[in-house]
Structure 1
């Protein structure tokens, strides 16, 4: 799959890497080699390019039999694997291409479920088999010329691979990414050759983050974190950490004001927004995400502003890594004392969510019975700390927020009586509190 955002439209975009011809039955380029060369030339007019599990013969990258077999062994525990493996072992070079694809279909999806089977069943009718044979014919490609052309492409490129894909494997996809001047590789977990089928949400988040010029990404602890940035690059940095169920865009109004004098960074926590949704969460994990984010971008020591869950993660961060935090702002953050009464088992609301639901019961359990050491270590925090309380309309116990501010040696409390979402409901007052605090 090829996704391109175009500044200048190509006259014949169906020739792009010869893919659309073979896949959708449009006319065969004459010769195919010229179509590929033309397509590469047109990349100079692209704003960005996304290559999804791309075929790489045009650049001379292939997956050998041993590597393919090793990749296929990732499915060895699946109930259909033995029969599929036996069918593969009797294939010959003369076996028709369509029959080969039908045999290996189960190995091309992360999950061989009803959705994958339906997608595979529809595929044969979408191929022009004559064109496919011509596309893969001997001499159709000039890898050396194609590599040279790709190296001259100045557009940003995303190569998206499936962790379970055998063609290309993640290692070969990395080779392809290295052919471009400005390319990044993203490997979608638990996905095969069709990552948009295996996990549409993960696929959409990765591509959307790449295509949005306002969103940046960084790898932190093996997890892809999306983040937004405002302000001059050489201005003093500040990191904004959102609350549960939110994302970096929720900080926009405050960030735009801070950007007059600060370089503002706002990440999406894992399980939120456009970052990866790994499925395992906790306040300690979010603390580590903040730590690796700050370290990966070489921001520390940095001012950190955390709302709600983001504030709790920031507290744990400054307790574990005081050298990373210069000043700390906690906006209506849970004070990490046992909840009384405890929160009941939550029920997932209907419909799609902008965050990964499994994080909710995990965090509720931690807030019901937090680690007592989290509260005890507040007395050792040396960073100047501002606690912003939302007043009686907030669900956070306000007396506990006052106790939180008192326990931190250089802590202070300000109340803006608007409820839990202080920075969104009263951005001007919240910004004024930040400026008074020295941000």
Structure 2
């Protein structure tokens, strides 16, 4: 167990778990060592967790003078740990009552904080017991004053994971902190890394990744990547089933020379929320909400496979949102022959919700009969890209579907189902020629 010496000579211990960018974690509750965090639901697979045992807990020494457990002295401990680790700035995570400690540190050292994650941060102001003798273990409430001070100087982003009304000993809604921070409120459990480890890890990973932005669409948090200058003409890239927005990194970087490119993770995929309710109706609505949520009037829309069919449905039902439409190997809106069998259950973690696979396959086997008729309502210029005989998609059905879209053109590039991956140069050339 590694240790370091605080400014007043107290020896403090911490635990290291995992690999990656360090995340300093402060435990909540009186006299509670950091061991209860475990791996934070598997977050250690993506970040190096630095689990600090606060004074008098776990492997850390208990000072002779209990007054050294006050908040201000413990913020010095965080600063000493930062120096010990050789970090210029830190990602800081705090649970429950340690939300006070984290925000006080942020107020005192705003330039040392890269991000602040607060999990169920204590009681509502005024609900807790008052401090006794200024000792931290008796500071039960969440004090808003450090938060206001931090807000005035803190440039780093803040994520608040709130406790549910019935799930935690001191429930707090994110709205209580909204006026205090440029916050993103997620989760609704007191120990989210235990109750919903996957959701917890996705939310924190997305928050800590500087290349990921987030947008709330009808209560579902959608993570997305963006490339290019914000004022350039917008292009939205919709990924296929089981992929996520990172799938478009190569294409997005190339298009970004002249475009502002957005690549969201659909719900149930990647770092977005996994709501458990899936289908092409939801996918279409997520695309619509995403475009409108970004404040865009209309976009060039490029969709692959599942994302291609969702893009077609959006262009048919909300034509004002789509200027140009490119769909790569979309599943035609006709019943699959033979039907797609239920896929085998895979062991281990996968970057998508398995329930999503089941729901999407069921709709592809028995699609809404109204879908094919709606394609006649598409007003955007449409290019359909086929993968040729190497693809599992029925190319004759793809041609039949193309004929239902007014003025659409079918271009067979070959390369199989994922043309943008197998033949990126030909794919990008086709987009450029089409005006995307």
TM-score, with structure 1 as normaliser: 0.75
Runs of 5+ consecutive residues of structure 1 not aligned to the other structure: 1-10, 65-130
Point out which structure has higher relative CO (alpha carbons under 8 A, 6+ apart). Answer: 1
List aligned pairs for 1:39-438, cutoff 5 A: 39-40=105-106, 41-56=108-123, 60=125, 62=127, 134-137=135-138, 144=145, 147-163=148-164, 164-171=166-173, 173-180=174-181, 182-188=182-188, 192-438=189-435
Residues 16 and 305 of structure 1, relative CA distance in 2, 3 Å threshold: closer
SS at match of 1:165: coil
Q: How far has the Cα of 1:18 moved from its partner?
A: 8.3
Aligned to 1:72: none
In 2: Cα distance, 1:346 partner to 1:22 partner:
49
Tell me which protein shows more helix as a share of its residues: 1
Task: After the TM superposition, list the runs of 4 or more consecutive aligned residues in structure 1 that deviate by more than 4 angstroms.
Answer: 11-21, 138-143
Count of residues in Structure 1 that have an aligned counterpart in Structure 2: 356
Task: Provide the C-alpha distance between the structure 1 equivalents of 2:249 and 2:365, rounded to a whole number of angstroms.
Answer: 31
Larger deviation, residues 266-275 vs 378-387: 378-387
* Counterpart selection for 2:70 from 32, 54, 62: 32
* Secondary structure, counterpart of 1:407 in structure 2: coil
Q: Deviations over 1:113-152 (max 9, x none)?
A: xxxxxxxxxxxxxxxxxx9993243799975356324442
Shift of 1:426: 1.2
How big is the alpha-carbon RMSD for the aligned residues of Structure 1 and Structure 2? 2.9
For 2:300 and 2:170, the matched residues in 1 are separated by 42
Structure 2 unpaired stretches of 5+: 1-10, 15-23, 34-56, 77-104
Distance across 2 between alignment mates of 1:20 and 1:62: 15
The 1:413/1:271 distance shift into structure 2, 3 A limit, reads: same
- Report SS of the residue matched to 1:23: coil
Equivalent residue of 2:215, what SS?
strand
Query: Structure 2 vs 1, CA of residues 61 and 329 (structure 1 numbering), >3 Å: closer, same or farther?
Result: farther
Give, in whole Å, the separation in 1 of the partners of 2:159 and 2:378.
41
Mapped contact 1:22–1:132 kept (Cα < 8 A): no
Instruction: Give the stretch that moved more between structures: 209-218 or 374-383.
Output: 374-383
Rate the CA distance shift 1:146–1:374 in 2: closer, same or farther, 3 A: closer
Query: 2:378 and 2:146 mapped to 1: Cα distance?
Result: 59
What's the offset of the Cα at 1:255?
A: 0.3
How many angstroms apart in 1 are the aligned matches of 2:426 and 2:142? 63
CA distance in structure 1 between the aligned counterparts of 2:211 and 2:142, rounded to whole angstroms: 37
Structure 1: distance between partners of 2:257 and 2:317: 31
Deviation at 1:183, TM superposition (A): 2.1
Report the Cα distance in structure 1 between the residues aligned to 2:139 and 2:74, rounded to whole angstroms: 15
